[in-house]
Structure 1
Amino acid sequence: MHLTSTFARADMDLNAVREVSLTINATHLFVYFIPEAPEEAAKLGVTEYGPAYFAFRSAPMGAVPWQVTLAAFYNFSPRSVQAMAGVWDTATPEEWQDARFAAVDRALQRVDVSLAADQIAEARSLIDPVVASADYAGKTLAAANASVPLPADPLVALWQQITVLREWRGDAHFTVLAANDLGPCDCNVLQTATGHFPEAIARATRLWDDGEVAAATTRLVARGWLNADGTATDAGVAAREQIEVETDEHCAALWTPIGDADVRRLTSLIMPIHGAFTAARTYPFRVEMGDTQSADPKAAR
């Protein structure tokens, strides 16, 4: 295994960086599982999950062709993203973004998130400087989301700031994957083999076919990261964790405007959002949080 970090480590506790990253991912995640999202998409004339997913998530980039979305999303197959062709004919990106905010607002009200106005304001006082001072070079989805005008509702606006940072880490992670020669299909196969993403969801949403998965498995076997039967080796488990560490190192500088203590405070402030959706049985699997030790699958980026 030869993994080399090319990112300068900022003076941040990487455990705090990992914790806030996991919590931000978990807090953002509900938008992909709530019934309100397909209901809002149907109002725009799209009833299939795939095209709606790509339209909602790529709307901040504008009316880009599906190939641009494919490039920005990294780990999806071309055939999965191509399904979004035509979504900008049914509604503009701005209408898709408004529909996404409407779905989020309705869902937050339905599960009754227990965040008081002063807690939302405190969370914003911590997250806003991070969003404002972030380096967006090479961070396509994060930059696009940072350009979206914040909605009027304070909690939905907080969720959008969380989304910016969720996509920032995802963009950074893709850079790390590419630097380690782990391609779009290969990273999915390694993610599922190490138990961090349910294989059924990966196959149903990323749409890599059996031949592509087999070829990726062969490449990972050659690297010593998988066994011939597709299960992960100890070296594969270590490689995946090292990729996460390198992503944390890339993200450390993102959090220097507020420092370790405020990073942990932000983590604790936003946790109730995920807790409310978990209590509402939103997810078909357990989602890993910053303060949770769990071997259960978590959602991939």
Structure 2
Amino acid sequence: MHLDAVRHVSNAVTDAHLFTYLVPETAEEAAAFGVTDRGPAYLAFRSAAMGEVPWQVVAAAFYNFSPRAVRAMTGVWQAAPPARWQAARFRAAGRAMRRVGVDLTDAQLAEARSLIDPVVAGADHAGKVLAAANAAVALPPDPLVALWQQITVAREWRGDAHLVVLADNGLGPCDCLVLHTATGRLPTALARATRQWDDKEWSAATARLVARGWLGPDAEVTDTGRAARERVETETDEHCAALWAPIGAAGARRFASLIAPITDAFTAAGTFRGLRGQPDPVDGG
């Protein structure tokens, strides 16, 4: 399995999944449960597949969020149980895709499913908590949303693998975020607002990266830091080669082309304005 094909399909999957965190339909569905704070709503929607777990479990699975950020979700399962959050997530995804005019024919949907289904069915979920949880969720009857859920499994599988690589490279939860922002892959203001590491924690992580030579004294990323960041992505690709092996490089590239209309429609609608060229803002590093 060629790693360039893995990176290509991984980027396509990330892009096709991303809209759910940005569209108004998601906020509207959360507001129907009485949850209007974007942080707890995001955490509830994304972790709902795991069931009614304590916030500490969510923090462990999400890695790069500070404990104080995740603790804010306390009470979301009292607002509505996880199954209702999951159903609301499906509704939001379907509503949003139809609002922006995602137009996949029945034949395209069937072909896309013929490629992604064996990928999901054959996935080894050891150590892949969010992917395993999403794979266990019953697919909705709406064919477009069902495809999106299969995309979600693949997206979370790469995310779970990425956390293994981050830990293996000695990049802790705040450290990976500082490096991520220093390379320009995620706006610092967004990272600080959503992950809620305080000034002391952010400064300590920056100092650790400076000591490694990955950041300079001015906290600008060094060539060594850029190489380290790319190595993390390459090692993640290496993990993900096994995920896409059931359909091979050609199948992976074909799947990427089949789901591209999802990203194209949201791009045309302005959903990603200010984020294009950036990886998934829910990604940790």
Q: Give TM-score scaled by structure 1 length.
A: 0.93
1:75-154 to 2 correspondences below 5 Å: 75-154=64-143
Cα distance in 1 for residues equivalent to 2:140 and 2:99: 18
Cα distance in 2 for residues equivalent to 1:122 and 1:103: 24
Deviation, 1:66, is 0.2
> Which of 264, 270, 275 is the matching residue for 2:259?
270
Q: Which amino acid aligns with 1:253?
A: A
Q: Name the SS for the 2:72 alignment partner.
A: helix
1:1-301 to 2 correspondences below 5 Å: 12-287=1-276, 296-300=277-281, 301=283
Deviation, 1:117, is 1.0
Q: Name the SS for the 1:155 alignment partner.
A: helix
Across the aligned residues of Structure 1 and Structure 2, the Cα RMSD in angstroms comes to 0.7
Aligned residue pairs total: 282
Deviation, 1:114, is 2.0
- Structure 2: state its 5+ residue gaps: none
Q: Which amino acid aligns with 1:40?
A: E
Q: Which amino acid aligns with 1:259?
A: G
Deviation, 1:286, is 3.8
Q: Is the 8 A contact 1:285 1:298 kept in 2?
A: no
Q: Is the 8 A contact 2:267 2:273 kept in 1?
A: no
Cα distance in 2 for residues equivalent to 1:227 and 1:297: 23
Query: Where does structure 1 differ by over 4 angstroms across 4 or more consecutive aligned residues?
Result: none
Cα distance in 1 for residues equivalent to 2:231 and 2:145: 34
Cα distance in 2 for residues equivalent to 1:201 and 1:117: 38
Q: Which amino acid aligns with 1:85?
A: T
Cα distance in 1 for residues equivalent to 2:99 and 2:87: 18
Q: Name the SS for the 1:213 alignment partner.
A: helix
- Structure 1: state its 5+ residue gaps: 1-11, 288-295
Q: Name the SS for the 1:281 alignment partner.
A: coil
Cα distance in 1 for residues equivalent to 2:278 and 2:146: 28
Deviation, 1:297, is 2.8
What do residues 34-81 of structure 1 show as CA deviations (whole Å, max 9, x unaligned)?
Answer: 000010001111111011000000000000000000000001000100
Deviation, 1:115, is 1.1
Q: Name the SS for the 1:84 alignment partner.
A: coil
Cα distance in 2 for residues equivalent to 1:24 and 1:286: 16
Cα distance in 1 for residues equivalent to 2:212 and 2:119: 37
Deviation, 1:201, is 0.7
Cα distance in 2 for residues equivalent to 1:272 and 1:14: 23
What do residues 186-205 of structure 1 show as CA deviations (whole Å, max 9, x unaligned)?
Answer: 00000000111111110110
